[in-house]
Structure 1
Amino acid sequence: MGSSASQKIGRTIRIWLKRDSGQYWPSVYHSMPSPCSCMSFNQETRRLSVGMDNGFISEFVLAEDYNKMTPDRTFQAHQGRVTVVLFVLEMEWVLSTGQDKNFNWHCSESGQRLGGYRTTAWVSCLQFDVETRHAFVGDHSGQVTILKLEQETCSLVTTFKGHTGSVTALCWDPVQRVLFSGSSDHSIIMWDIGGRKGTAIELQGHNEKVQGLCYAHHTRQLISCSSDGGIVIWNMDVQRQETPEWLDSDSCQKCEQPFFWNFKQMWDSKKIGLRQHHCRKCGKAMCGKCSSKRSTIPLMGFEFEVRVCDSCHESITDEDRAPTATFHDSKHSIVHIHYEVTRSWLLTSGADKIIKLWDMTPVVS
């Protein structure tokens, strides 16, 4: 027998075993009192934590041969649907978030609530750093909250606000101390927490909502998946650049034509106001005529062509346009992903009710 996988179908938790033939067969299942919303499995202890729509978390211990699952305890963690559950073996903590806008952590041995934090919007994703006891909480308002956890207290460290849509995926690299966040705004942001004074690098390579992120530490490659089926492999072992802040101006910063809200200059110059655009490379406010060019800028994260001003377009070389990511089509709308680092296997589950297992060795190496 090989490794195990778990699947949620309505109110049933089912364990699948991989046989020597390479096929997966159902081993054991357990019916739940409420529809399952999320789960976390610790392979070392074989502890399975399952969050449910009714706000409860049920914990099970799987037998060594994965042919039996023994209920351990069930406790009410939230007043609404559990959105994320995470078991931390080193602390014996169960971290969870819910649609009640609460982040809580419980003792996994007693089930006792140790502490909590009220978020501004309901939480969609969660990561935890064992060494520093920092929790990274992404929510539907588009912000990422960083909390410092103690045994029974937590303190707010900071919040990151860079997405215009809800945060849909988080991935933490404890080695480089970098946090990746994906969003429904189609973008990914790399937050460098490990000493570069809060550097934020944008990655633009998806046409739909980012559904999952995972990081291959040994090759420094980021894997991202989106709801349109796109799988993007990002090379993070390059010197990337921050995108500039968009500058404010009442007129084009090249030809000085007034923008349409600048009534005084329009009246004085007897000119019709123009629509404002921004160059993605320098951030200057430009009219459409002065920013009519398009170009990729991979080192700034723009793998697709974006608007640039005429001056910046002339400065971008063919070497600057060399892609830093590869694109692949999964052929289904991805809902969830899991990456097995030791085997370079990527598991994707889709809205088409199909689970696919990918050998990523040819592209993650």
Structure 2
Amino acid sequence: MAAQIKAPVNMSQANIRKPQLINKIEGHSDDVNMAIITPQEEGVITASDDRTVRVWLKRDTGQYWPSICHTMQCAASCIDFNAETRKLFVGLENGTICEYQVADDYNKMNHVRDYLGSVRSLAWDDERSLLFSASFDQSIIVWDIGGRQGTAFELQGHHDRVQSVVYASSSKQLLSAGDDCILAIWDMDVKRQETPDWAESDMCQKCNSPFFWNVKTMWEMKTIGVRQHHCRHCGKAICAKCSQNKSTIPVMGYEYEVRVCDQCHSDLSDEDRAPMATFHDTKQSVTFMSLDSTRKQLLTVGKDRVIKVAANSVVCPKCDQAPRLKSDSLLVLSS
């Protein structure tokens, strides 16, 4: 049986109007993963498993015809477009984010640069030129494309795949959700620090114990090698004995406790551990979100085939209030 949308019980029949089909766009040879309407032009941008990204413009005949058909290196899983700057970001299945500049007449898209990451969803901060990408490896990457090109900040707070991200420019908050049934609200109006590169060493950089692959030093010291770990705060290669503590590091995006060396654990203060994000139970595994910042409403699509509309979803960055669900605004898809 086809899916049905159950209207709110309080809605009068007189206010119900059947949606009218005004056009259909066909032409992709494989699944279409995402489609968005261009705000300042009668057009649509689509991404498909057939490896193409297409821009469709409405012609005088009333039909949509492709003005751009760009072939990617692999299937395009998601797209994000900013009408003001005409920047188009395409997330590919191989973990690459491609940035394009779309021409004023929508007849050409020029490749700018690529970014690496396991991409499921994209969001864009136009004011500060920050690109947010949701990843299957439970992390969110913040790409600083504006002021410091190439800089990437990580946000670690989920414990399963991050399926969707949306950005609220008015409050400078990033909202993320995924398979762990958690809605995270990240304060992006704070100074964040890039995670350090992990050091390479054959010995613990704290106590000089050899790691288990350092056979020569193990023989000379007449000892058994130890397993290598890394401090998430300083990036040094350390052993388990020198990293017996864990700590949150919100400035680096770690909102849950991670391994740190004993020295860094002593150096981190309670102020350094103060959270920069709040987490709320969505009671569903979220696959997609859409945000209306003006009306402060957040729409979530779940794997349980339930679409929820949450009110007051954009809260003060310092507030700990969870989004309030409007029971009379639930759209339930039943099969």
Q: Does 1:223 align with 2:165?
A: no
Summarize the Cα distance change of 1:267–1:119 in structure 2 as closer, same or farther, 3 Å threshold.
farther
Of the three residues 71, 75, 78, the one matched with 1:125 is: 78
Q: Distance in 2 between matches of 1:302 and 1:234?
A: 11
Q: Does 1:214 align with 2:166?
A: yes
Q: Deviations over 1:259-299 (max 9, x none)?
A: 22222222222222221111101111111111221000111
Q: Deviations over 1:58-77 (max 9, x none)?
A: xxxxxxx853413324331x
Of the three residues 153, 157, 170, the one matched with 2:112 is: 157
Which segment is superposed worse, 253-262 or 234-243? 253-262
Q: Distance in 2 between matches of 1:262 and 1:141?
A: 35
- Per the alignment, residue 363 of structure 1 pairs with 315
- Per the alignment, residue 36 of structure 1 pairs with none
Q: Are the equivalent residues in 2 in contact too, given 1:204–1:304 (CA < 8 A)?
A: yes
Q: Does 1:144 align with 2:97?
A: yes
AA paired with 2:86? R
Q: Which has the higher strand share?
A: 1
Of the three residues 69, 89, 114, the one matched with 2:67 is: 114
Q: Distance in 1 between matches of 2:290 and 2:211?
A: 48
Of the three residues 270, 275, 285, the one matched with 1:323 is: 275
- Per the alignment, residue 203 of structure 1 pairs with 155
Summarize the Cα distance change of 1:257–1:157 in structure 2 as closer, same or farther, 3 Å threshold.
same
In structure 2, runs of 5+ residues without a counterpart are 318-335
Q: How does 1:164-179 map to 2 (within 5 A)?
A: 166-179=118-131
AA paired with 1:123? A
Q: Please, what TM-score do these two structures have when normalized by structure 1?
A: 0.79
Q: Deviations over 1:157-198 (max 9, x none)?
A: 11112x3xx311111121222111111111011112122233
- Per the alignment, residue 254 of structure 1 pairs with 206
Higher relative contact order (CA 8 A, sep 6+): 2
Q: Does 1:82 align with 2:32?
A: yes
The alignment yields a C-alpha RMSD, in angstroms, of: 2.4
- TM superposition outliers: structure 1 runs of 4+ over 6 Å: 14-19, 24-27
Q: Are the equivalent residues in 2 in contact too, given 1:187–1:203 (CA < 8 A)?
A: yes
Of the three residues 40, 48, 51, the one matched with 1:101 is: 51
Q: Residue 251 of structure 2 aligns to a residue in which SS?
A: helix
Identity %: 42
Q: How does 1:184-333 map to 2 (within 5 A)?
A: 184-333=136-285
Q: Are the equivalent residues in 2 in contact too, given 1:17–1:24 (CA < 8 A)?
A: no
- Per the alignment, residue 352 of structure 1 pairs with 304
Which segment is superposed worse, 99-108 or 216-225? 99-108
Q: Distance in 2 between matches of 1:242 and 1:291?
A: 21
Summarize the Cα distance change of 1:26–1:213 in structure 2 as closer, same or farther, 3 Å threshold.
farther
In structure 1, runs of 5+ residues without a counterpart are 1-8, 28-64
Alignment length (residue pairs)? 312
Q: Please, what TM-score do these two structures have when normalized by structure 2?
A: 0.85
AA paired with 1:290? C
Q: Are the equivalent residues in 1 in contact too, given 2:297–2:314 (CA < 8 A)?
A: no
